[in-house]
Structures are given as C-alpha cells and as structure tokens.
Amino acid sequence: MKTIIFMALALFCLISCKDGTGKINVHLTDAPGDYQEVNIDLKEVKVKMEKGSGWIDLAANKRVYNLLALRNVDTLIATGSVPAGRIKEVRLVLGNNNSIKLNDGTVHPLQTPSAEHSGFKIKINKKVDDDDPARLVLDFDALLSVTEASGKYILNPTIVLK
C-alpha cells in the first residue's frame, strides 16, 4: 500500500511540479504613415515576466527594418524560450542607423531618445503556456510615432499589441 501511495505522489509531483517553459515569437507590423520609409535599426528584443526579476534576451533578427514595408503584413523579429507565465513588458533596443525618407525623397536621421541605451518598453499582459507558443504582434504606428521639430525627426513610438 505504501508503494502505491508513494508512486501516486511521485507521479503527481512529476506532473504538477515541472518547471514549465514556453516559446514566444515577437512580430512587427505597421499602420500607414505619410513617408516613403521609416527605418529602425533593431539590435535587441527582451521580455520581462510577471514572476522573475530581470529581462530575458530573445534571439533577435538584428537588422534595419523599414516599418512602412510592413503594412498589412508582419515579420518575425525575435523568438526564444521563457518561463511559463505572464509577460509584463517587451523592450526593443535600437542601434544608431535609424532614418526617415520623406515623400520628396530626402533622407534624414531619425533620433531615438533613449532607444539606443534602455530601449522602448511596451507594457503588455500576455500569457505564455508550455504547450502553445505565444505570438506577440507589435503594431508600430509610424504616422503617430514620428514628429518633426526644427528640421529634426524624432521617434517616439506608438505601439499597440495586436
């Protein structure tokens, strides 16, 4: 009888006490903007879980993305494994090769305050299961995200989770 109880407890612990991990895929898309190109230089993608103290680095597809080429489509920008639970934040860290191409064809640097150091943080609340990969689609609104001041173009992202 003790053997049966021990085996039942061991099976219960094996099933309920496992350290679950889930997979996350982060995609990027864009709402239309009144420019020819809005280019961001993606260097890192990180997530912060509800439980846990730090940022988790995802395998990012590091390159320059023309956000306006992502209208009505999305592209995978990062993937990785995270502990099962809830994602609280996503952080996009940009490099210094960001630019905007206006409708008249002129190209200007796109300033990204703090994006090259701490990154843009997006608050979310998305569950990650160990059975089903989480799909995050970040909709980057280029029209609302770019402002012009004294001939300088500044990126203050407006991003919504789809």
| pLDDT at residue number 144 | 87
CA-based angle 33:35:152, to the nearest 5? Answer: 110
CB 47 within 8 A of CB 121: no
List the structure tokens of 77.
Answer: 């920008």
- Label the pairing between strands 107-111 and 99-101: antiparallel
CB 56 within 8 A of CB 46: yes
CB 42 within 8 A of CB 76: no
| pLDDT at residue number 115 | 62
| pLDDT at residue number 2 | 35
CB 143 within 8 A of CB 33: yes
Mean pLDDT in runs of 10 for the chain (162 residues)? 36 45 85 83 95 92 94 92 93 93 94 77 90 88 88 89 82
